[in-house]
């Protein structure tokens, strides 16, 4: 699993470490790329990396809203909408 985060003030210094499709091709079989939003295409993650089979960002984010809703319901001591 490769997770990213924004480089902040270190963007220029971290350019050589950008995740690219070529780098993902060298990774072990089954590697997953999940860039942490907000990310900028071409900054911490190259555009071609986002087209790579390892990119799972959309699939991982699909469950985000129900998880956030469950956390909020728990914090507010409301009944959960999920079984």
What are the boundaries of each domain within the chain? 2-75
What pLDDT band is residue 83 in, cutting at 50, 70 and 90? low
How much helix, strand and coil, in percent to the nearest 5, is found in the chain? 45, 10, 45
Is the confidence at residue 53, as pLDDT, over 60?
yes
Is the confidence at residue 15, as pLDDT, over 80?
yes
* Two structure tokens written together for 30: 């089954």
Q: What is the pTM of this model?
A: 0.68
Residue bearing the bigger pLDDT, 64 or 73 = 73
Percentage of the chain with pLDDT > 90? 33
Nearest to 53 by CA among 21, 5, 19: 21
What pLDDT band is residue 50 in, cutting at 50, 70 and 90? very high
């Amino acid at each position: 699993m490769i997770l990213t985060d924004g480089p902040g003030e270190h963007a220029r210094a971290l350019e050589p470490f950008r995740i690219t499709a070529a780098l993902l091709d060298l990774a072990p079989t089954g590697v997953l790329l999940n860039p942490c939003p907000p990310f900028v295409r071409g900054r911490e993650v190259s555009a071609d990396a986002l087209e790579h089979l390892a990119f799972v960002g959309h699939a991982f984010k699909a469950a985000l809203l129900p998880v956030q809703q469950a956390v909020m319901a728990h914090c507010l001591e409301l009944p959960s909408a999920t079984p």
